[in-house]
Amino acid sequence: MKPTPLDHLDATVALLARPYTFVQDRARKAGADVFETRLLGQAATCVTGADAVRLFYDESRFVRHGAMPARVLKTLFGEGGVQTLDGAGHRRRKRGIFMRLVATDDRDALPELLAREWREALPSWSGRSRVELFAEVGLLLTRAVCRWAGLPPLDDRRARIVAAQLMATIDAPAALGPRYLRGRIARTEAERWAGRFVLRARAEGRDDGSPLSVVARHTGDDGALLDRHTAAVELLNLLRPVVASARWTMFAAMALHSDPSWRERLRTGDDPVDLDYFVQEVRRFYPFFPVTAAKAARSFDWEGHHFPAGRLTLLDLHGINHDPRIWGDPDGFRPDRFRGWEPNAYQFVPQGGGDPNDGHRCPADWLTTDLMKVGVRALTRWMTYTVPPQDLRIPPFRAPAQPRSRFVVADVAATKHAQED
């Protein structure tokens, strides 16, 4: 690819202006799956396409330590968390905490707690003139995940504070001004709060297999417990992303609103496969994480491009989920595309790619889809509601994406299925 004059300028502003299409657009222009640019004042390489996913998750070529900008660590992830580890240290913590709890735990425990929260909340929603779905689902998820984690029950006020803090950390990394600051403050407070439970669990010698006790008892390569701060970061690495799935439940509600035939199909049908395709398509179609980042572990060449050791590299998660070489009609919402075809771990990457046991792929694809399924069941079978006029446009510059109105519903009524299903 011939460099254009633009390639010599820092592209951070362009990335922030179009976070979800930045890589795709420039790669298309370059006619290649890889191009070089400058981001945050340093040389960076952006990659897209299924082959790039294989490359990116090859641990001999990429490491995570030092890859995430400080603003992401100070809001979304926290410092010293599993996202920043490599090699044996990464595997030990990933398997010891996350794969153990998320990938092999009793699969239904957290979705069942969430279903209970939905059922309990519906009567109170029906008395309200409007319900902002995004915030309310975030609250239900917060209550459910804190209970699942083994934290003491949260009263209503505390649950709202924790939900707001976790959602603020998710909202902040790509923001400027007050939204970013809110995320910074929320992270400090949430870490302090989570750290207290870790210390208490240790003081009590708690060993009941709950997520809290697993984090509190986890030891590093040196056999020592995690320090209070790191343990708090990892406890929040379990709580926060569960609450993050509120965004996808909101998008599922938008999809039901824009295509009522799916609402009808899911309301009347009893086909778990339909529900699965619908939820997978929500994860593919709607924007959430635009990219993820790593650094070249050593110098190598790929597709005619040189990656010097230490080169910041961005993988185009959203673009790959809309790559026309993988997905027919990529910009159409078509759950039936999953019928008879299962994408592999390098083609469908809403939560990263490759093998979560060895690499940095999210440990919780199935858990996330199960939580979304509870939400979609609630929206289609357990309640009726109307969607008042509102601004449902999703600004292309906002990451993480959300409609301007955050999806408001009205006239909520619980159906008889709310207690029966």
Q: Which stretch binds ligand HEM (CB under 6 A): 116-124, 152-160, 258-266, 362-370?
A: 362-370
**Cβ distance to ligand HEM smaller for residue 167 or 412:** 167
Q: Which of 343, 370, 324 is nearest to 49 (CA)?
A: 324
Q: Which stretch binds ligand HEM (CB under 6 A): 11-19, 160-168, 214-222, 350-358?
A: 350-358
Among 50, 73, 82, 174, binds ligand HEM (CB under 6 A): 82
Sheet containing 312-315: give its strands across.
Answer: 34-39, 42-47, 312-315, 292-296, 62-63
Binding string, 273-312, against ligand HEM, x = CB under 6 A? ---------------xx--x--------------------
Residue 187 engages ligand HEM in binding (rule: CB under 6 A): no
Residue 102 engages ligand HEM in binding (rule: CB under 6 A): yes
In whole angstroms, give the CA distance from residue 218 to residue 195: 14
**Cβ distance to ligand HEM smaller for residue 321 or 380:** 321
Residue 365 CB, nearest approach to ligand HEM (Å): 8
**Cβ distance to ligand HEM smaller for residue 275 or 412:** 275
The angle at the Cα of 40, spanning 24 to 93, to the nearest 5 degrees, equals 85
Residue 241 engages ligand HEM in binding (rule: CB under 6 A): yes
Residue 352 engages ligand HEM in binding (rule: CB under 6 A): yes
Among 148, 248, 327, 385, binds ligand HEM (CB under 6 A): 248
In whole angstroms, give the CA distance from residue 175 to residue 74: 12
Residue 361 engages ligand HEM in binding (rule: CB under 6 A): yes
Which class for 56: exposed (0-12), middle (13-18), buried (19 or more C-beta within 10 A)?
A: buried
Residue 245 engages ligand HEM in binding (rule: CB under 6 A): yes
**Cβ distance to ligand HEM smaller for residue 37 or 368:** 368
Residue 238 engages ligand HEM in binding (rule: CB under 6 A): yes
In whole angstroms, give the CA distance from residue 91 to residue 111: 26
In whole angstroms, give the CA distance from residue 168 to residue 160: 12
Q: How many residues bind ligand HEM (CB under 6 A)?
A: 26
Q: Which tokens go with 31? A: 């006619």
Residue 128 CB, nearest approach to ligand HEM (Å): 26
Q: Which of 53, 122, 134, 30 is nearest to 302 (CA)?
A: 53
In whole angstroms, give the CA distance from residue 110 to residue 354: 25
Q: Which tokens go with 52? A: 């790039």
**Cβ distance to ligand HEM smaller for residue 35 or 288:** 288
Among 23, 231, 242, 412, binds ligand HEM (CB under 6 A): 242
Residue 386 CB, nearest approach to ligand HEM (Å): 26
Among 47, 166, 364, 412, binds ligand HEM (CB under 6 A): 364
Q: Which stretch binds ligand HEM (CB under 6 A): 156-164, 218-226, 260-268, 358-366?
A: 358-366
Establish how many alpha carbons lie within 13 A of residue 68's alpha carbon, considering only the half-sphere containing its beta carbon. 23
**Cβ distance to ligand HEM smaller for residue 96 or 350:** 350
Q: Which of 238, 244, 317, 308 is nearest to 57 (CA)?
A: 317
Site of interaction with ligand HEM (CB under 6 A): 82-83, 94, 98, 102, 237-238, 241-242, 244-245, 248, 288-289, 292, 317, 350-352, 360-364, 367-368
